[in-house]
Amino acid sequence: MATKKKADKTVNFSKYIRWFWMLFGAGVVAFFLVFQLAAWGVFGEMPDHTQLENPSTNLAGEIISSDGVTLGKFYLSDNRTPVEYDELPKHLVDALIATEDARYHEHAGIDARGTLRAFAFLGKRGGASTISQQLARQLFVGEHSQNTLERITQKFKEWVIATRLERQYTKEEIIAQYFNIYDFGNFGDGIRSASRIYFDKEPKDLEIKEAAMLVGMFKNSSLYNPRPHRNPVGTKNRRNVVLAQMHKYGYITEAVKDSLQKTDLDLKYTPQSHNDGTATYFRAYLQEELKKWVNDPNNRKPDGSKYSIYKDGLKFYTTIDSRMQKHAEEAVKQHMPKLQAEFFHQNTKRRNPTAPFLDLTYGAIDTLMRNSVRQSERWRHMKYDLKKSEEEIRESFTKPVKMSIFSWKDGEYAEIDTVMTPMDSMRYYKHFLRTGMMSMEPQTGHVKAWVGGMNYRHFKYDMVKQGKRQIGSTFKPFVYAAAIDQLHLSPCDTLPDIQITIEANKYGNPEPWTPKNSSGKYGGTRTLKDALANSVNTITARLINEIGPQPVVDLAKSLGVEQDILPVPSIALGTPDLSVYEMVAAYSTFANKGVYTKPVMLTRIEDKNGTVLFQFSPETRDVLSEEAAYVTVNLLEGVTKSGSGMRLRHNTAGDQAVYKEIITGYPYEFDNPIAGKTGTTQNHSDGWFMGMVPNLVTGVWVGAEDRAAHFKTITYGQGASMALPIWALYMKSCYNDEALNVSKEPFEKPSELSIVLDCEKHRDSLKVLGKGKQDDDPEIDF
């Protein structure tokens, strides 16, 4: 009886074993069946070979400087620029493998050991997703569903795609793709953007602890956000876990692990938004130009669709030099706070009750502010986008709201959180002096630096090309150049410094025109060189009276001036409104031997595969003879030797307070040839300086938004005080950066020069203009 019971137990045990293997076999078959169903697309569309070869990801357009530095990017939501595997440092890859997939090089997309462990312990001892699976999810599957059944089918799809990826790509290519696809937060799409945003460096330059922090963010970049107001402690703890994993798998020693775990994150947070970074005004200008390019029917993809500057990974190679751009921005940043501090000092309520305006009645100020309201972006948005009535809009300008406003603090840009009415904020911003600056190679037309203002976030109006202001005496060289070209004048020829009246209607002027010298002094004679150096108005008036305004207008147009200029005598003193862009291009013609070269900002466009889509072609034209251009340059050199630009060279400050207060960086003590011209408009509303060396021409403008806001006296309001210091600071930085090769050589002299330049040596052969016939020269009656 006992034996029979024992036999029954054996039979029953065999049955269980049989059932186990049957169920196990069925499970294996079911697993592979579901796997195959997933591969066939039963659970949702699967990527084909073409999609695996070219996964659909948005790639930001990249703006690249002439020295190979990324200036910024164009993107809508994905700020992604891919890198190759060989651009990733070894310790970054080691950190990823140690943390995310220790057996990465041993499997073909699915880690069997890890998967069995995850099933056995229900994920409590870690997940089983390989790097290939995570890439599959990022590229094709998407975030895991909250529905259990859908989540299971998603996992099968990941497995299928992971194995296909492993067949399609090398292990190195998969790692590179994974680093490129991940969103690290704060617009850090992909490892290149993330390393630049969090540490301001390229991926190849990341240190071990920096690499560990970024790899740690793969777990959850929203949770492990290192910014101070988010989760720096949690991010540091997660980084230390990655370092521990690197030690566990032998990538770093215990000593290295222990020392690095004690360090801070040491972020250098550098946001990559359209409002921040280098060359913001230039990038905004370029963006508008590129929109025109993509809308041109001649610039289409092979399939006929438009390119996107935001999504197609285009590369825009520009002429901007990142080093010169930074020197230019730093020069503005050094000078403008000092100038602004003095402007605030002179425009306190006690000193100027109508601040920041001068010479305006309260009624005129009210009219000015009402006009400004109607021209504001807030008015446009409320009227056309929100469809508000004018009464509602006007009322909104009087209601206090929370806002961040721009300020200078210890020489740095700063934002102040405050509450004020939009109307008060508009008047507050009208206190600020603005600036525009552009630097260009005259021979090539390549624009090397472009600073359209002080801070793009708060002052979006570009004062390089968009803004046009009265140019004052910087227009005078156009008059002199036209006279030299027509009359073959020498810088040493002399004219009487006495007032001249050009009768009404002689040149379309409705009234007699009698210009005055700014000094109010007259008498004697002056050479052309001395007259231009000291910006003597009577001499310029005599020149335009002799040749007429129309040849001057024609010359200005040939020099690239886009603005229509009325051919009347008063233009000689700089009444037209022109842009810094136009002025730099025009002056560059003098430095380029009389040949105008249209400014160039973009040299070529490439697609993400390196195919050239656009190649720049230079535009040039002969405007002046080489001799006339050189003589004009010679005249302009006199400005910096003995005229209004003399402070570039000599320490002439004495005890003058203005030098200590606003002539930033003085003394400059340049000793190389420099041609230049200052410009100051009526009431000192605009200050200009145009400066040239043989291979670089730079123009600077400074002034307030409204011409009624200005310094009281010319001491502070002249171009030599407002604009010249920015030029000087910029050029000193360029010269200190020897790799830039900015010239200190003399301007090249024409091989044949018939016009006398040495006034002492050829004193007897010179014309005394306006005094009748001199020797064998024809009489020129001024």
Mean local confidence (pLDDT), 452-476: 95
Q: Do 46 and 297 meet the contact criterion of CB atoms below 8 Å apart?
A: no
At residue 436, the pLDDT reads 97
Q: Do 606 and 314 meet the contact criterion of CB atoms below 8 Å apart?
A: yes
Q: Do 62 and 287 meet the contact criterion of CB atoms below 8 Å apart?
A: no
CA dihedral 477, 478, 482, 484 (to 10 degrees): 10
At residue 655, the pLDDT reads 58
Q: Is 128 a residue whose pLDDT tops 80? A: no
Give the bridge partners for 597, in sequence order. 620
At residue 661, the pLDDT reads 84
Residues 709-751: tens digit of each pLDDT:
999 999 999 999 999 999 999 999 999 999 999 999 999 999 9
Distance CA 235, CA 224 (A): 5
Distance CA 285, CA 64 (A): 15
At residue 410, the pLDDT reads 82
Max avg pLDDT among 84-98, 322-336, 349-363: 322-336
Report the range of poorest mean pLDDT among 30-39, 227-236, 364-373: 30-39
Max avg pLDDT among 54-58, 263-267, 315-319, 372-376: 315-319
Report the range of poorest mean pLDDT among 113-122, 353-362, 623-632, 649-658: 113-122
Residues 162-181: tens digit of each pLDDT:
777 777 788 888 888 889 88
What is residue 151's three-state secondary structure?
A: helix
| Structure token digits, residue 777 | 């020269």
The larger pLDDT score, comparing residue 591 to residue 113, is at: 591
At residue 140, the pLDDT reads 55
Residues 51-85: tens digit of each pLDDT:
455 555 778 899 999 999 999 999 887 788 888 99
Q: Is 567 a residue whose pLDDT tops 90? A: yes
Q: pTM (2 decimals)? A: 0.84
At residue 324, the pLDDT reads 98
Burial label, 641 (beta-carbon count in 10 A; 0-12, 13-18, 19+): middle
Q: Is 203 a residue whose pLDDT tops 70? A: yes
At residue 694, the pLDDT reads 97
Distance CA 654, CA 310 (A): 55
Q: What count of other Cβ atoms lies within 10 Å of the Cβ of residue 165?
A: 24
The larger pLDDT score, comparing residue 271 to residue 478, is at: 478
At residue 772, the pLDDT reads 37
Which of 429-464 are b and which e, b meaning 16 or more Cβ less than 10 Å from the residue's Cβ?
A: bbbbbbbbbbbbbbbbbbbbbbbbbbbbebbeebbb
| Structure token digits, residue 355 | 């601040």
Cβ-Cβ contacts under 8 Å for 497 (sequence gap 6 or more): 517, 522, 523, 524, 525, 526, 531, 536, 538, 539
Report the range of poorest mean pLDDT among 32-41, 254-263, 444-453: 32-41
Report the range of poorest mean pLDDT among 121-125, 154-158, 385-389: 121-125
| Structure token digits, residue 96 | 């990823």
* Count of helix runs (H) and strand runs (E) in the chain: 27, 18
Distance CA 768, CA 759 (A): 12
Residues 81-124: tens digit of each pLDDT:
888 999 999 999 999 999 988 888 888 766 656 555 555 544 44
Query: To the nearest whole percent, how much of the chain has pLDDT over 90?
Result: 63
At residue 177, the pLDDT reads 86
**Where would I find the H helices in 137-199?**
148-168, 171-181, 191-199
At residue 318, the pLDDT reads 98
At residue 764, the pLDDT reads 61
Q: Is 651 a residue whose pLDDT tops 60? A: yes
Q: Is 553 a residue whose pLDDT tops 90? A: yes
Whole-Å CA distances, 693 to 410, 441, 690, 771: 33, 10, 11, 36
Strand 315-318 vs strand 602-606: parallel, antiparallel, or unpaired?
antiparallel
Distance CA 72, CA 702 (A): 26
Mean local confidence (pLDDT), 295-313: 91
Q: Per residue, what are the HEC states of 513-555? A: ECCCCCCCCCCCEEEHHHHHHCCCHHHHHHHHHHHCHHHHHHH
Residues 400-412: tens digit of each pLDDT:
999 999 998 888 8
Average pLDDT of the chain?
Answer: 86
At residue 146, the pLDDT reads 54
Q: Is 5 a residue whose pLDDT tops 90? A: no
